[in-house]
Amino acid sequence: MRSTDLLQELIRFNTVNPPGNEGPALEHIMSFLDPAGWDCKFLAKVPERPNLVARLKGVEPGPNLALISHVDTVPADPEEWSHDPWSGNLADGYIWGRGALDMKDQVAAEVAACVNLARSGWRPARGDLILVVAADEETGAHFGAKWLCEEHPDEVRSDWVLNEGAGELLEFDGRRLFTLSIGEKGTFRFTVITEGEAGHGSIPRVGDNALLKLAPALSNAHRQPPHESTPDTDLFLERLLGHPVEDTDAALREIEAIDPLVAKLLADPMLGVTIAPTMASASSRENVIPSRAELVIDCRTPPGMTEEQVRARIDLVLGDGDWRIEFNDPVVGNRSDYDGPLAEAIEEWVGLTEPGAEVLPQVMPGFSDSHWFRKAFGATVFGFAPQRMSIAETKPLVHGKDERITVEDVELMENLYTWIPPRLLGTAES
With a CB cutoff of 8 Å and minimum separation 6, the contacts of 265 are: 391, 395
Residue pLDDT, tens place only, 91-144: 999 999 999 999 999 999 999 999 999 999 999 999 999 999 999 999 999 999
* Same topology between domain 3-172+335-425 and domain 186-327: no
Residue-wise pLDDT tens digits, 386-420: 999 999 999 999 999 999 999 999 999 999 999 99
Q: Please write the tens of the pLDDT for every residue from 276-328.
A: 999 999 999 999 999 999 999 999 999 999 999 999 999 999 999 999 999 99
Would you say 270 and 362 are in contact if contact means Cβ atoms under 8 Å apart? yes
What was the pLDDT predicted at 394?
Answer: 95
Q: What is the pLDDT of residue 238?
A: 97
Residues near 422 by beta carbon (within 8 Å), at least 6 away in sequence: 117, 122
Render pLDDT for 249-277 as a digit per residue (tens, 0 to 9). Answer: 999 999 999 999 999 999 999 999 999 99
pLDDT given for residue 113 in this prediction: 98
The structural domains of the chain, with segments of one domain joined by +, span 3-172+335-425, 186-327
Is residue 262 within 8 Å of residue 184, measured between CB atoms?
A: no
Q: State the CATH architecture for 186-327.
A: 2-Layer Sandwich (3.30)
Bridge partners of residue 295, in order along the sequence: 192, 280
Q: State the Cα angle at 31 between 27 and 36, rounded to 5°.
A: 140
- Cross-strand partners of 276: 298
Structural fold of domain 3-172+335-425: Aminopeptidase (3.40.630)
pLDDT reported for residue 324:
97
Q: Is 58 helix (H, G, I), strand (E, B) or coil?
A: coil
Provide the sign of the torsion angle of the four alpha carbons 27, 132, 350, 359, taken in this order. positive
Q: Is 151 helix (H, G, I), strand (E, B) or coil?
A: helix
CB 209 within 8 A of CB 290: yes
Interval 28-36 mean pLDDT: 98
Please say if the pLDDT value at position 84 is more than 80: yes
Amino acid identity, position 311: R
Assess whether pLDDT exceeds 80 at residue 430. Answer: no
**Helices (H) and strands (E) in the chain — how many of each?**
15, 20
Around Cβ 397, how many Cβ atoms within 10 Å?
16
Nearest CA-CA partner of 370 in 131, 98, 109, 67: 67
Span 326-368, pLDDT tens digits? 999 999 999 999 999 999 999 999 999 999 999 999 999 988 9
pLDDT for 206: 86
What does residue 281 show for φ and ψ, rounded to 5 degrees?
-150, 150
**pLDDT tens digit sequence for 188-243:** 999 999 999 999 999 998 889 999 999 999 999 999 999 999 999 999 999 999 99
Q: Provide the pLDDT for residue 429.
A: 87
